[in-house]
């Protein structure tokens, strides 16, 4: 879960955990998160607000949500959701340059970050470029 203005911003922020590029995203109407402090000083998730949990289950885990509501096979529904998640990866944008494509393969970074890094490096390189001789 991340607070972001755009999908690109969300993917960039989520990259701290893993590359979320190609993953389905949804804008929550509201988010209520309950946290607890453990005895050893760790912050842990204590629960979600009712509306928040409902929105997440509707978007992310519809099969599991139905199984929970109907008292059906929960383990089977969880397995279906895990299998569905593997198949639902959307195609991702390819970086604009060969250097960008190589970087993405090596680091598994979102394309938006790769393109930004390559563009910044190219601009710095061009600014520091000193041509030989007199320009014609």
The pLDDT assigned to 73 comes to 92
The pLDDT assigned to 133 comes to 76
Residue 13: inside a domain: no
Residue 28: inside a domain: yes
Residue 95: inside a domain: no
Residue 116: inside a domain: no
Residue 117: inside a domain: no
62 by Cβ neighbours in 10 Å (0-12 / 13-18 / 19+) ranks as middle
Q: How confident is the model at residue 79 (pLDDT cuts 50, 70, 90)?
A: very high
Q: How many structural domains does the chain have?
A: 1
CB 53 within 8 A of CB 69: no
What are 38's two structure tokens? 């453990």
What is the C-alpha to C-alpha distance for residues 135 and 62, in angstroms, rounded to an integer? 65
Q: What is the pLDDT of residues 82-125, one digit of tens each?
A: 888 666 556 678 888 898 889 888 888 888 888 888 898 889 88
Residue 39: inside a domain: yes
| Residue 31, helix vs strand vs coil | coil
Residue 41: inside a domain: yes
pTM of the predicted model over 0.85 = no
Identify the domain containing residue 69 by its residue range.
Answer: 24-88
Residue 109: inside a domain: no
Q: How confident is the model at residue 136 (pLDDT cuts 50, 70, 90)?
A: low
């Amino acid at each position: 879960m991340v607070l972001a203005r755009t999908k690109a911003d969300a993917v960039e922020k989520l990259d701290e955990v893993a590359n979320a590029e190609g993953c389905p995203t949804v804008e929550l109407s509201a988010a209520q998160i309950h946290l607890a402090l453990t005895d050893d000083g760790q912050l842990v998730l204590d629960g979600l607000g009712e509306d928040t949990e409902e929105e997440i289950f509707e978007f992310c885990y519809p099969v599991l949500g139905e199984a929970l509501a109907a008292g059906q096979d929960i383990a089977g529904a969880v397995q279906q959701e895990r299998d569905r998640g593997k198949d639902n990866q959307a195609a991702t944008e390819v970086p604009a340059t060969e250097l960008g494509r190589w970087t993405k393969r090596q680091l598994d970074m979102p394309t938006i970050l790769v393109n930004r890094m390559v563009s910044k490096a190219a601009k710095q390189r061009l600014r520091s470029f000193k041509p030989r001789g007199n320009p014609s």
